[in-house]
Amino acid sequence: MAKPNILLLMTDQQRADAMGCTGGWVETPNMDRIANEGVRFSNCVTNSPICVPARLSLATGHYPHNTGVWNHQDHTLSTDAKTWTQVVRSCGYRTSLFGKTHLHPTSGDLRSREHLLHAYGLDDVNEIGGPRACANCVSHMTSMWKKKGLWEKYKADLTERSRTKRYLVRPSAVGLEDYYDVYVGQQAKGYLESYDRSEPWFCWVSFGGPHMPYDTPEPYASKYHPDSMPSPVPYPGDERKRPRGTLDDILDNRPTFDPGEEKILRADYAGNVTLIDDQIGEILLAIEARGELDDTVILLVSDHGEMNGDCGILAKSNFMNGAVRVPLVIRTSDTVGRSAAGKTCASHTEWFDAGPTLAELAGGEIEYPQFAKSLCPMLADPSIEHRSEAISEYGGDVMLLNHDWKIALNKEGETYLLFDVKNDPSEVNNLAGRADMADVENSLKLRILERMMESQVYTGARFAG
Using an 8 Å Cβ cutoff, are 100 and 180 in contact? Answer: no
What residues does 108 pair with on adjacent strands? 137
Q: What average pLDDT score do residues 208-225 get?
A: 97
**Which amino acid, residue 275?**
L
pLDDT digits 0-9 by tens, 351-409: 999 999 999 999 999 999 999 999 999 999 999 999 999 999 999 999 999 999 999 99
Q: What average pLDDT score do residues 151-178 get?
A: 95
pLDDT of 140 higher than 90: yes
273 within a domain of the structure (yes/no): yes
461 within a domain of the structure (yes/no): no
346 within a domain of the structure (yes/no): yes
420 within a domain of the structure (yes/no): no
pLDDT of 465 higher than 50: no
430 within a domain of the structure (yes/no): no
What residues does 190 pair with on adjacent strands? none
439 within a domain of the structure (yes/no): no
Q: What average pLDDT score do residues 153-174 get?
A: 94
Q: What average pLDDT score do residues 15-43 get?
A: 98
Q: Supply the mean pLDDT for the chain.
A: 95
Residue 38 CA to residue 41 CA, distance in Å, equals 10
**Which amino acid, residue 197?**
R
pLDDT of 102 higher than 90: yes
- Residue 240 — very low, low, confident or very high, per pLDDT cuts 50/70/90? confident
- Check residue 464 and give its pLDDT: 38
Look at residue 345 and give its three-state secondary structure. strand
Query: Which residue stretches of 325-373 are H helix?
Result: 354-361
Look at residue 212 and give its three-state secondary structure. coil
- Residue 457 — very low, low, confident or very high, per pLDDT cuts 50/70/90? low
Q: What average pLDDT score do residues 152-156 get?
A: 97
- Residue 340 — very low, low, confident or very high, per pLDDT cuts 50/70/90? confident
pLDDT of 325 higher than 90: yes
- Check residue 129 and give its pLDDT: 95
132 within a domain of the structure (yes/no): yes
pLDDT of 67 higher than 70: yes
Residue 21 CA to residue 379 CA, distance in Å, equals 18
Domain count, the chain: 1
Q: What average pLDDT score do residues 426-439 get?
A: 94
pLDDT of 463 higher than 50: no
Q: Determine the structural domain holding residue 33 and report its residue range.
A: 5-388
36 within a domain of the structure (yes/no): yes
Residue 375 CA to residue 110 CA, distance in Å, equals 33
Q: At what angle do helices 29-36 and 261-289 cross, to 10 degrees?
A: 60
What CATH number did the domain enclosing 88 receive? 3.40.720.10
- Check residue 25 and give its pLDDT: 98
- Residues with Cβ within 8 Å of residue 257, at least 6 apart in sequence: 309, 312
